[in-house]
Every structure is written in C-alpha cells, then in structure tokens.
Chains A and B, each alone.
Chain A
Amino acid sequence: MKPMETIIKIENLYAGYNNIPIIENISFKVLKGEVFMIIGGSGCGKSTLLKNMIGLLPPISGNVMILGENLSQAIGKEKNLILQKIGVAFQSGALFGSMTVMENVKLVLKEFTSLPDSVMDDIVWLKLKLVGLEKAAFLMPGELSGGMKKRAALARAMALDPSIIFLDEPSAGLDPITSAGLDHLVRELASSLGITFVIVTHELASIDAISDRIIMLEKDAKTIIATGTPAQLKNDHSNPYVYNFFNRTIHKGEK
C-alpha cells in the first residue's frame, strides 16, 4: 500500500486572541481522503484551532500548510486562492439569509467561474442532490429545519469541488437520527468523492461512527493530549481525561 499523501500540515502552532495563546505548540498532519476529527471538551480551543486552519484568525506563531501552501503567511489574492480550494460549513450553517438555497450554493460559482447560467444550475442541482436537498432549492434559509441548514451549508461548501471540507460541530442541535444521517452523508462523500473532512465535534456517536483519526485537545494542557483511531483512544487507559471523555465517566480512569 502506498503511503497516503499529506494534505494539511500544522507546524508548531500557537493560537489565541490578543497574543494570549489558548492552544500551544500544536503539530499534526491530515492525510488525503480521511475523516479527521478534532475533539475535546468545551473551551479547549477546538474552534480557535479551526479558525486558524481556515484563515479566519492569524496564528500567534507557527504555520498552517494547506495543500502544500502556507495559509498563515498568505494575504490578499494569494490567500483567497488557497481558500477557494477548501470548503467550510459553519456550526449555524451561516447561509446568506437574503438568498435562496440555490443562490447560496451558486454564489461562489458565479464569482469564480464564467460558466453559462444553465450549467451552473446543473452543478448546483448535483450538489443539492448529493446532500438530499434537491427539493428545497428555492426555499429561503429561514424556511429550513436545523438539519436541512447544515446540509445546505455542506452543499455550499462543496460548490467549487474542494478537496478539503471543514465542518464545525455538525451534530450540534440536531436530533440523533438527523445527526446520524449527516454522519452517513459525510462518510459517503469521503469515500465516493475522495473529499478529506476535518470535523470539530464532541459528539461521541459521530466520533465512533465516521472518524478515521482523531486528535484530542485539553483545556489545561493547552495542546494535543491524544492522537489515534477511535478504537485506540477508547481503550487508552494511560490518560484519565481521554478515558473519561470516551466512557462518559467523571471519575479517574483505572488501569
């Protein structure tokens, strides 16, 4: 088996606000085609790490390399070119409220391509079909349920066929069935289209169901305290925090 290609590389990243780091000295790699999860308790810096990875927050120090290019050093047009290769679905969906679902997905196509309108419509239809929203194309975001909003956001993130998609807390606020449906969708997209997913979550069921590899952050350590597959972390008795997280216990893990 040939070694998998590295698609994201984080090097000695210190990140936080106002020069006060929330996470320190973080380094890891994401491989092509995997479903990679960033997990940890509330306030551990998951979202800060994500904001650094998608260029919304500049790192205090360290580098974020996306597809071989340094996102943290890039500015202006150069940065926009890197960003066009990734897709992001925010926790709330962040759909543009004044546009229909169709227009939301079509927006980047309109901005970055000069395809004829009918072709763009076809592309949008395909994306909506992939996420199962082909019947909701002309609804406004306000008319969608929580699960549909997340699917629409995913469709929008896929508009330019990015090789990496970032999802921020995809299961937050969803019922177990809708959440499982979204997990299934992610797994399917990863295997059929070869998209790499980077998912920030603390939903145990999702972690179990779809992740290939996990890194776990912890608030006090301010860094990665465990790395591995879900099975490895679940049976990791060396760190009580990891054990408690995966087993939903609050007492210290025993050997």
Chain B
Amino acid sequence: MNFLPQFIVSKDSHGALISIIGRLDAKGASSLWHAITQKISNTDLPNLTLNLEKVNYLDTAGATFIYHIEKLARTRGVKAFFIVNLKQEFSPLIELAKTIKQKDFSNQTPQKLSFVENKGKNLSDTFSETKEFITYIGEITWALIQSLKHPKTIRWADTFLVAERAGVDALPIVALISFIVGLVMAFQAAIPMRMFGAELYVANLIGIAMIRELGPLMTAIVLAGRSSSAFAAEIGTMRINEEIDALTVMGLDPIRFLIVPRVIALTVITPLLTIFSNLVGILGGALVITSLGYPIISYYNQIASFVEWNDFAGGLVKCFVFGILIATSGCIRGYQTQSGPSAVGVSTTRAVVTGIVLIAIFDGIFSIMYYYLGI
C-alpha cells in the first residue's frame, strides 16, 4: 500500500515541531514539498524540531528532502534545528545527505561556449569534415583505379550481390514512382493544352522531361533513399562490431574490400535503372494520351520525332555520375560511423542527405554544362 505521507505541525513558545508520518521516498517528498516549505517560510520561531518517529521508509530522496528542510529553516532564521526519534536504520542516509554541502561540479561541467565560439566551432568542424570527405573520395578513386587495372582483385561476387539488391530489387519502386510521375504530368499538362487543341504535344513534354531530367533524377533519389542508406548502415554496423578493424589487421584494405564493389555495382546499375524509369514514365503518359482518344502509334511517333539521341545520352551520362555520388556518400558516411547506440542512425541519415544534396548540385552543374554544349 502506498499512502502519501502526512505531516502535523504543533507550536509552542519555544519553537515548532513538525511530525512526518508515512513513506519518505521521491514521490512522498514531492507531495509534501510545497506545503512544508510554505509552513517553514511562514514561521519565525527560533527552534524547529523534526519528528521522524512515524516515518516507516526513507531513501536518498527523503534524506535530501530533510537536508533541504534544514537548509530552508536556517535561512529563515531558525537557530536550532533538531531531528528526533530517527530510526537507527535511517541515520546513515541522513549522514550521507549532509555531504550535499560539499557538492561541487565546477571543474567537471563542460566548458560552455558563447554563441560566436559555437558557430566558429561548427564551421571548423564542417571544414575538417569536408576535408575528411575529400580524402576518402581520393582514397576511393585510387582504389577504384587500382581495381580496374587489376580486375581480378575486385570482389565480383559481392559486386553482383550489391547490383542485385540495389538494382533488380529496386525495379518495383522505380517503376511505381516513374509511372505515377509520367501519368500525373501527362494528365496535368493535357488539361490546359486541350484548350489549344494541342493534347498530342503532351507526348513531347513527357518524352523530353522523362529522358533528360526526371528519369535520372527520380532513379537517383530512390537509390539515395534505398541503397545509400543501406550501404551506410551495413558499413556502419561493421565499424561498430570492429569488423573493419578486423579486415585492416588481416592486411585487407577495407576500401577495396567493402567500398569498391558497392561503387562499381551502383555505377553500373543506375544508368540501367534510369533507362527502365524513362520507359515506364513514358508508358504512364501513354495511358493518359490513349484515354484521350489518340492512338498509341501517334504518341510514339511524336516522341520519336522530337526526342534526340543527344537527350538520351545526356541523361545517361548524368545518372552514371549520380550512381558514383550515391554509392560514395553512403559508403563514406558508413565508414565515418562513430561509436554509440545512435551512431548508425546518424550515419544513414547523413548518407541520404549527403547523397541528395550532391545529386541536386551535380544536376545543376549538368544543366549549365548541357546548355553551353547545346545539348
């Protein structure tokens, strides 16, 4: 039974007597806290006696509570403070609570930085992290060159496994997203274009948008969310389980062993998935066009006459680069995993964010480049 403690105050000309009855644990102390402190604050008697005869349980919280009653009483001008009828078994705790006076965390509390210092530290952290990221990119590039020079050293079994997981297994989700993008875009475009009797030109829009821009971009974003995070989680867990250390002391280079197969697999798989995505997106558009009453052959002819090989090649080159970016960002973030229970979660998040940011930046660079190249 857990009744909350009670207290009774009695006063005479010499001082006040407070009797506490019941359990003094954290819950009990908190229930009495407000009432007792108020009572003491209102007294101006020279003596205060605390009768603990009826306290049947006392723990560190209760002892701290009593320490604070005494402290408060002293600040209110109480000259003499007594604890009476304390049970023998509780006295060590009351003694322990007296050591609170010596509490001093001053040289343990972490140094607090000012706003400016904090921003400066963040900036310097970002710089050193970027430097580390670039170093890893260099190391990976070197390992890739070495591996391509000696293809026998590439772990092909792992490469194919990653290609299957990141490529074949991603077909349904890539199909779903591309189909819906193609369908919705065609539908949205068809409504205003109908006013000009130009519904068929929706085909031009879908063709050029999917092949040049949306196919590569959608595929890259799906892969960043799906595979980059998986790479970061796999490699991050290996880091935490000391498996990467184990590889290193076996004389095996973890970059060649873990990162190179993933980068090769994703670099090959991204353009293939993009071609698939282009096709499915165009099919989505076809559904809208045929439902508007045009034969599918006119849709096909419209796209075939408008979209050039240049557009197709431009899209493919772009997603080739996206593949490298997604794989490296996932692997590097995994490789940088620190220790602790949330470390892998942090790494996967950073992998996806880094991947998407890099995709956006490089997509912009490609757009400008293609504009000047006249593609």
Chain A residues at the B interface, C-beta cutoff of 8 Å: 54-56, 79-84, 86, 88, 90-92, 94-97, 107-108, 111-112, 156
- From A91, A92, A97, A108, give the contact of B250 (CB < 8 A): A108
Chain B residues at the A interface, C-beta cutoff of 8 Å: 237-238, 241-243, 245-246, 248-253
- From B241, B251, B252, give the contact of A94 (CB < 8 A): B241
- From A79, A80, A90, give the contact of B246 (CB < 8 A): A90
Most buried by B among A84, A86, A94: A94
**Bound: A7/B249 CA distance, A:** 18
Q: Quote the shortest CB–CB distance from B246 to chain A (angstroms).
A: 4
Q: Are B251 and A90 in contact (CB under 8 A)?
A: no
Q: Are B250 and A94 in contact (CB under 8 A)?
A: no
Q: Quote the shortest CB–CB distance from B11 to chain A (angstroms).
A: 50
Additional 14 contacts, C-beta under 8 A, given A80-B252, A83-B251: A56-B245, A79-B251, A81-B251, A82-B251, A83-B250, A88-B246, A92-B242, A94-B241, A94-B243, A96-B246, A97-B243, A107-B252, A108-B251, A111-B250
Q: Quote the shortest CB–CB distance from A8 to chain B (angstroms).
A: 14
Taking CB atoms, residues of chain A closer than 8 Å to B246 are 88, 90, 94, 96, 156
Q: Are A90 and B242 in contact (CB under 8 A)?
A: yes
Most buried by A among B238, B241, B242, B246: B246
Q: Are B241 and A111 in contact (CB under 8 A)?
A: no
Complex A-B: 11 CB contacts under 8 Å:
A55-B248, A56-B248, A79-B251, A90-B245, A92-B242, A95-B243, A96-B238, A96-B246, A107-B250, A108-B250, A111-B252
Q: Are A84 and B251 in contact (CB under 8 A)?
A: yes
- From B243, B245, B249, B251, give the contact of A96 (CB < 8 A): B243
Taking CB atoms, residues of chain B closer than 8 Å to A97 are 237-238, 241, 243
**Bound: A225/B238 CA distance, A:** 36
Taking CB atoms, residues of chain A closer than 8 Å to B241 are 92, 94, 97
Taking CB atoms, residues of chain B closer than 8 Å to A88 are 246, 249-250
**Bound: A67/B237 CA distance, A:** 33
**Bound: A96/B245 CA distance, A:** 11
**Bound: A11/B191 CA distance, A:** 81
Q: Are A56 and B252 in contact (CB under 8 A)?
A: no
**Bound: A194/B191 CA distance, A:** 84
**Bound: A255/B99 CA distance, A:** 35
Q: Quote the shortest CB–CB distance from A17 to chain B (angstroms).
A: 13
**Bound: A254/B246 CA distance, A:** 44
Q: Quote the shortest CB–CB distance from B138 to chain A (angstroms).
A: 14
**Bound: A95/B251 CA distance, A:** 15
**Bound: A84/B252 CA distance, A:** 9
Taking CB atoms, residues of chain A closer than 8 Å to B245 are 56, 90, 94
